[in-house]
Structure 1
Amino acid sequence: MDIGYLLPTRDQSAAGEHDLGRLVARARRAEELGLDSVWAGDSPVTRPRADPLLLLAAVAAATERVAVGTAVLLPALRHPILLAHQLATLDRLSDGRLIAGMGAGYPMPATEAQFAAVGVGFARRGARLEEAIEVMRRLWSGEAVSHRGEHFAFEDVRIAPPPSRPGGPPVWLAGGGPALARVARLADGWLPYPPEAAAYAAERTAIEADAVRPVTPALYATLCVDDDPEKAHHRMRSSIERYYNAPLEFVASVQAMFAGTPRDAARWLDGYVAAGARHLVIRLATDDHDTGLEEFADRVLPLVHKENDR
């Protein structure tokens, strides 16, 4: 099992801080602390933050071992030729450590406004995502590609350099419910955030029944830890409501979140491990991300590994 760390790009931007070097330093520290992957989110308009691909290029240059991933990228906002080129270059820079986490975009007014701002129809974002994945995988072959689809059309296009790995980086897809069929058809990995481990187990089973290729079951989870559970809950509310500009109760109803002691947090994560999760991507809800990363690595990470090794 692997455990990764989500760089706090949105938290830093929301606080009016724009020192990207601090994010790269946290990625290096995550590697030193024994984490397996470092991730960056994508939302140029709805929740503005540093561009994930440019940031992860710097992270790839500053690290040696950790996987670098997008959690998650929104391909429907971009043309697949340009995105395939960027991802192939990033895979080269990272020596094949890239995980291309992707999603269609959560249906809410702010997300619709983001698509409108860049001139992309929101209603067809799912179909646009699927076509983009097909196009990018063909372009990653290094061969000349011609394509005529519902959303994109071009003739005799070749990108260079090709990705470090034949076939390109693994594509992990977010989503549950109706999106599970897309995961089973197209994905190399699954990166959802269901609020209950039982729901995770049921959806993972559904994917495995229909998958056309091996799918790595992952989890995107938010933690806030403190020896005082009440303080942890208070910090979780403050962090999440600042991040999403929405009530904690609503966000927690759709996302995997836990606030409490380090030991209880490890037990909560272990519920998802028992449900089949094999790569945990952890977002920390905290006001001090440097201290939060150290505390997670020191007080939660060893317990999760201990629980998983039983």
Structure 2
Amino acid sequence: MTETRFGYLLPTRDQAVSGEHAPHRLIEYAVRAEALGYDSVWAGDSPITRQRADPLLVLAAVAQATRRVELGTAVLLPALRHPILLAHQLGTLDRLSGGRVIAGMGAGFPTDATRAQFTALGVDFATRGRRLEESIEAMRLLWTGEAVSFKGEHFAFEDVSVAPPPARPGGPPVWLAGGGPALRRVARVADGWLPYPPEHGVYAKEAATIRETAQRPVTPALYATFCLDDDPERARERLRKSIERYYNAPLEFIASIQAMFAGTPEDAAAWLNAYVAAGARHIVVRFATGDHGAALEEFAGRVRPLVSAEVRS
């Protein structure tokens, strides 16, 4: 039997949108999530397109304030960074946290805004997928702690080592976002899968594809957004306000490509159980709310107890 685990996405983007800029409050949320029994805490990445506090710096602070929760990135864009520097940062964070890092990564969603971010940083957007794969390969070499060499299409170095090495032998597990054509990459190089398909039936089909083709064990996760309220109509309107401010795009469009729920805690649990039955084993929760403290408690107290705790592997 495999336990269903739950993670919490820190509202780094929400703070930037509201102009709050209070990183210390993010750390308080992380500490509260650990106390409430969440299994992981996550931070997103987007230096320009959807501005927010730097995820690795935030998680370094969380590492010192917590003892148990895993620390994940949802998700990093390695194509924007050199793999030597990123391997050094992630390795140091893993050492600092005692081996609790999950390196969630993605290539970057194909939108004009994301393309502009790559352009601003001098990276060819068309090469982002290959850069992602080269970065993973190079970082895994560097995480051995030995002097290594690498030669790819976009990155190359000779006789390089970084210190300190990660706490975990081989480095943090790498989880990849994406569905559809990206599943081939997940099956080929990932330790975990962090998608957000809006339909559990799609999740089930893609999870089966990964199970059948993966070259290593892959943790099936889910990134999902929740707006909880005992009044479903009010929940939907609150979700709309939050999402349209977050993405500067209509809710209907975002909801057509991302897993989102607005309604009562009981209905949220039933919705989540369909994904668990489809194979999801680690649920990363994003709250569409202005009160994350209350949302953390409500989800832990009214949703999580109704979600299947153990499922067959």
TM-score when scaled to structure 2? 0.97
Distance 1:70 1:305 in 2: 25
Which residue does the alignment assign to 1:221?
224
**Equivalent residues, number:** 309
Q: Which moved more, 1:299-308 or 1:212-221?
A: 299-308
Task: Choose from 54, 75, 85 the match for 1:72.
Answer: 75
Distance 1:143 1:72 in 2: 27
Matched residue SS, 1:5:
strand
Q: How does 1:1-310 map to 2 (within 5 A)?
A: 1-305=4-308
| Contact kept? 1:185, 1:212, Cα under 8 Å | yes
Distance 1:52 1:247 in 2: 26
Distance 2:33 2:296 in 1: 7
Distance 1:128 1:266 in 2: 38
- Structure 2 stretches of 5 or more lacking a match? none
1:308 shift after superposition: 6.2
For residues 153-200 of structure 1, what are the alpha-carbon distances to aligned partners after superposition, in whole Å with 9 as ceiling and x for unaligned? 111100001100111000000000000000000000000000000000
Misfit runs of 4+, over 4 Å: 305-309
Distance 1:233 1:102 in 2: 30
Matched residue SS, 1:268:
helix
Change (3 A) 1:307 1:155: closer
1:293 shift after superposition: 1.6
Matched residue SS, 2:42:
strand
1:150 shift after superposition: 0.2
1:306 shift after superposition: 5.8
Question: Match of 1:232, as an amino acid?
Answer: A
Larger RCO (alpha carbons 8 Å, 6+ apart): 2
- Structure 1 stretches of 5 or more lacking a match? none
Matched residue SS, 2:209:
helix
1:268 shift after superposition: 0.4
